[in-house]
Every structure is written in C-alpha cells, then in structure tokens.
Amino acid sequence: MKTRLIKWFTAFNTALIRGSGGRLGAKLGSQTILLLHTTGRKSGRKTITPIAFFQVEGIYFVVASNWGRDANAAWYHNLLAQPRAEIEITGRLISVIARAALDDEYGRLWNYAVSRHPAYLDYQKMTARRIPIVVFVPLDGKE
C-alpha cells in the first residue's frame, strides 16, 4: 500500500509541476523539487521522476535516499547506465551529466543536505547501504 501511495503521489506531483511550469508542487515543506528526466536502462523509455534537490556552491545535487530502503531507486540505476540526463527546474530544462559525489565532497554535501532536511539521517539508519549523492553537471560547462 505504501509503495502504491508513493507511486500515485509522484505521478500526481510530476503532472502538477509540469502543468504549472514549476509554480505548483515544486515546494514540499522544506524541500524544493526538480523533475529528473532519465532513460530507462532496461526499457529504453524516457522517465520523469520528481525528487528533492539542493543547490549550493553553484551545483545541483540530490540525495538518493529512496526513503531509506535497502535498494537504490530505479532512477539512480538509470543514471549509472546513462549519466546524460535532464533536470527540469521551474519549467526550465537543463542538460546535465550525473556523477557521484565522493570523498570530501560527499561529506560536505551530506552535511548540507541533512542540515536542511534531517529526515535523511533517519533514512540512513533504516538501511545498511551508504546513501549516494548525485551531482548534476550542466553540459554548458557551468558547474
């Protein structure tokens, strides 16, 4: 039931954000939502996933928490297979290359994210995996 509710909500929220050009549905509590456009690694179909993002030090990044589940989300695996993607923020499409945050960068971005959304700490306690952080590098070279 919980999975079905999450799927319904993400589909509804995606439609709301897209239909309003990001004026509605892009702010949920303390989080700001982008639409991640990826290509399915198995299906080859284009997918759109709403996900909370952060912008700091001139970069966009997301925390791949998957609600604290033990497996990474499908969108994360899609990015591993095909890191070229698009992010949609307030109706604007930005072509990006996704990469994992590593080492010191990971620690800095994790601390930034949990200071703004402490629930990530709870998600980390719920899973044995290290929750990945994905950085989006705009293809126009402006990171």
Quick one: pLDDT band at residue 38, thresholds 50, 70, 90? Answer: very high
Quick one: pLDDT band at residue 101, thresholds 50, 70, 90? Answer: very high
pTM: 0.86
Quick one: pLDDT band at residue 30, thresholds 50, 70, 90? Answer: confident
Instruction: Report how far Cα 88 is from the mean position of its chain's Cα atoms.
Output: 11
Domains in the chain, please, with CATH? 2-138 (2.30.110.10)
112 contacts 55 by C-beta, under 8 angstroms: no
Structure tokens given for 129: 């995996």
Quick one: pLDDT band at residue 3, thresholds 50, 70, 90? Answer: confident
Residues paired with residue 62 on neighbouring β-strands, in sequence order: 134
